[in-house]
Amino acid sequence: MGCGQSVPRDPTRAAKHLDLCKDLLKKHQLEAAKPECDKTIALDPESDEAYNVRGLIEFVRAVDTERTLEIDQCLTGIDAEGTHKDLDTDLRAADADFEKAVAVHPDYAEALSNRGSVHTLLEDYTAAQGYFEKALEHPETLVDAGLTRSHLGWALFNEKKYVDAARELRQALQFQPKMCVATYRLGRVYFAREEWEKAAEQLQAVSDDPSCGSQEASLYLMQTKLAQGLVNDAREARDACLKLSPKSCIAAQCVAYGGALGKR
């Protein structure tokens, strides 16, 4: 092949590499997955799914980095600064690939939703809202339309559009009544509006469900119970929070807010 000539498209071979990439991603083997997606794109530059999957690899890496930063190790100082840079790099790489997927297929709802998730982590909530709303114009093509709607509700929450956020989250729960993410986020909306009974109902449901594993729900449930003057209930919520991950940043917040509660 002469200099400057491009590799001819080979969608059949590309599909085999894409299947392997997706399988490795599912197994959380991120370093092994990415080269397979690279090969897919080299063989078929018009594969919108390949760009989306490669973006997911970077996004999952970013989520792992955020968890290290804010939950597992609660990093501070120089360590936190370096980790923040890694997080930003991974998110920008993911966003670039999701953008390429949408360039190939403008109505690719999954890629649009994924861009919304990236911009949520970047705290660019207005842009995130736009991507989620665009994705929900084609709900039938989404892997989980309810989850995307829950993400839209969270973007609206962070924009302090509480009425709109509650509407989207309640709609998500109409179709998936036990969705941990939507239930917790609806609780946060009620918490922000100081509707303590409603907040407690949602947050208690998440805190009591082992499948949710939400330490944040216990933290906000504790604060809600304190606002209601229910000290024993607040103590139970604090203890549940500390039991889940005693050395996390959230556990430190549970101690700080509930330090005066003492033991039962």
pLDDT digits (tens, 9 = 90+) for 185-194: 999 999 999 9
Is 192 within the bounds of a domain? Answer: yes
**pLDDT on residue 4:** 47
259 inside domain: yes
CA distance 198 to 210: 21
Query: What b/e sequence results for 145-175 when a residue is b if at least 16 CB atoms lie within 10 Å of its CB, and e otherwise?
Result: bbbbbbbbbbbbbbeebbebbbbbbeebbee
| Domain range for 249 | 178-264
Judge whether 5 lies within some domain.
no
Residues 6+ apart with CB under 8 A from 172: 146, 147, 149, 150, 153, 179, 182
Q: CA 31, CA 200: separation in Å to the nearest integer?
A: 42
Would you state the pLDDT for residue 2?
46
The predicted pLDDT at position 67 comes to 79
Give the model confidence (pLDDT) of 118-170 as tens digits. 999 999 999 999 999 999 999 999 999 999 999 999 999 999 999 999 999 99
- pTM of this prediction? 0.90
Residue 51 covered by a domain: no
Domain presence at residue 234: yes
Position 211 in a domain: yes
Residue 190 maps to a domain: yes
Q: Name residues of the chain where pLDDT drops below 50.
A: 1-4
What DSSP character marks residue 71?
A: I
Q: Is residue 209 included in any domain, yes or no?
A: yes
Distance CA 191, CA 176 (A): 22
Q: Residue 71 has what pLDDT?
A: 61
Specify the pLDDT at position 78.
Answer: 52
d(CA 140, CA 160): 29
Residue count (the chain): 264
DSSP 87-102: HHHHHHHHHHHHHHHH
CATH number at residue 240: 1.25.40.10
**Which residue, 22, 28, 30, is CA-closest to 51?**
22
Count of domains forming the chain: 1
DSSP 52-65: HHHHHHHHHHHHHH
Query: Residues near 122 by Cβ (< 8 Å), separated by ≥ 6?
Result: 88, 91, 95
